Amino acid sequence: MLKIKVPPSYPKERAYIIDVIFKLFLGLDCQTEIENRSDTLISSDHLNSVILPDVLFQCSREKWLTADSLPKKPLSIWDAGSLGGNCTLTDFRIPVIYGSATQKHLAPVQTAGHRIIELPIDILGSAFFMLSRYEEAVLKERDVFGRFPAEASLAYQEGFLRRPIVNEYAEILWSCLSYGKAGSDGKIGDRRSVMRKPRQFRTMVSCDVDHPYARNVKSLRMTLRNMAGDVLKRRSAVAALRTGLNTVCSSCGYYGFDPMDNFDWIMDTNEKAGNRVAFYFFADLSVPKMDGNYSIHEPRIRALMRRISARGHEIGLHGSFGTYLDELQCSKEAGILRAVMEAEGIRQAELGNRQHYLRWSTPETASNLEKAGISYDTTLGFADQPG
């Protein structure tokens, strides 16, 4: 059992990030104690004690969620090489979001047979900053769809957009907590006394069901227009014939000519690879011009959902264009999807979500999804580039 002694400020924020880092990431039991102190002390009978600086959570209430509380740029860089080769990092030169890199090397202090290691990184504050998307609640930069752009992020500007920085911070913390006696070269050793939670990566495949069938199949006029385009622009009589056949056959319940109906191929391909796919459906169209071309109540869509579920794949919610700031619409759509799944006999332990156009606002969207009973969300990534 770890004992974590923390200052009294921001208790809810501290409780959240302690739970994520120690319980979720590392799988360690811990107990938090509040003291009048200016740093964080992590101790155990069987592990080293670690002292972390406390920077973000020392911010005054007046400056919280203001530009004054953001990390100071350029960030300092700490060389974690003194941790030795057993600390899994993408690079031993690691950005310090909150803290100071003036302490170049770890200098463990031996006290009554117990070692105390002082780190220069405010790991808890820095991890909270990243995982809560704190900067997005402070900075006003947005693109034309109301999304926070990658270029405005600290990670992009400081060159660590593609580093798993929070995971790396957790690895640094674990190394300092769990390593045994220092080696003859003065580096942290590799004798571990407590096991951490084993973690195994998984491939998570997902599909937003925006247009499950060709747009023209409901309109003879649009079908004829598309056929004309096939001949005159794309110069393919075969494509024109296929377009016409798709409209006729779709009206009779046969979808083999529809280029958009590739769900069986997606499932076949992923089943061969051992993957389970999550398909996110619109439950309502809050902005029809921006959302999908179907209704979740259509027999074709209901049949598709049943087929997906019968093959062991997952049904999820694709929050429509207007939901990311609308609590009532978000709950309405989640309710519609649950009702449809219930009517179709689809049982799932969890209901996931991804917002259409990856529209997200911190903290409103997360709060709306929480209130709607959504189990997890896969929206939270930059729309313009990975990171």
Length of the chain: 387
Q: Is 358 exposed, middle or buried (0-12, 13-18, 19+ CB in 10 A)?
A: middle
Going by C-beta distance under 8 Å and a sequence separation of 6 or more, which residues neighbour residue 342?
A: none
Query: 132: number of CA atoms within 13 Å, CB side?
Result: 22
Neighbouring-strand partners of residue 317: 281, 353
Please calculate the CA angle 169-31-80 and round it to the nearest 5 degrees.
Answer: 20
- DSSP string covering 173-241, please? HHHHHH--S--TTSS------SPPPP------EEEEES-SS-GGGG-HHHHHHHHHHHHHTS--HHHHH
- DSSP string covering 231-298, please? HHTS--HHHHHHHHHHHHHHHTT--TT-TT--HHHHHHHHHHTT--EEEEE-S--SSTTTS-S--TTS
Considering only CA atoms, which of 55, 78, 75 is closest in space to residue 172? 78
Structural contact between residues 87 and 171, judged by C-beta atoms closer than 8 angstroms: yes
Give the pTM. 0.89
Give pLDDT tens digits for 280-323.
999 999 999 999 999 999 999 999 999 999 999 999 999 999 99
Which band of pLDDT confidence, cut at 50, 70 and 90, is reported for residue 112? Answer: low
Mean pLDDT across 133-148:
97
Task: Please tell me the distance from the alpha carbon of residue 8 to that of residue 15, in angstroms, as a whole number.
Answer: 11
Write down the domain spans for the chain: 2-178, 200-212+263-387, 214-260
Structural contact between residues 54 and 39, judged by C-beta atoms closer than 8 angstroms: yes
Task: Please tell me the distance from the alpha carbon of residue 9 to that of residue 337, in angstroms, as a whole number.
Answer: 41
Mean pLDDT across 146-175:
96
Residue 236's identity, in one-letter code, is S
Going by C-beta distance under 8 Å and a sequence separation of 6 or more, which residues neighbour residue 170?
A: 21, 25, 26, 123, 127
Considering only CA atoms, which of 6, 36, 34, 38 is closest in space to residue 21? 6
115 vs 297 pLDDT, higher one:
297
| pLDDT over 70 percentage in the chain | 93
H or E element in which residue 371 lies: helix 364-371
b/e 10-24 (16+ beta carbons within 10 angstroms → b) = beebbebbbebbbee
Predicted confidence at residue 185, as pLDDT, reads 41
For the cut 60, the answer to whether the pLDDT of residue 184 exceeds it is: no
3-class secondary structure, 132: coil
What CATH number matches the domain at 200-212+263-387, 3.40.50.150, 3.40.50.720, 3.90.870.40, 3.20.20.370? 3.20.20.370
| Average pLDDT score over the chain | 91
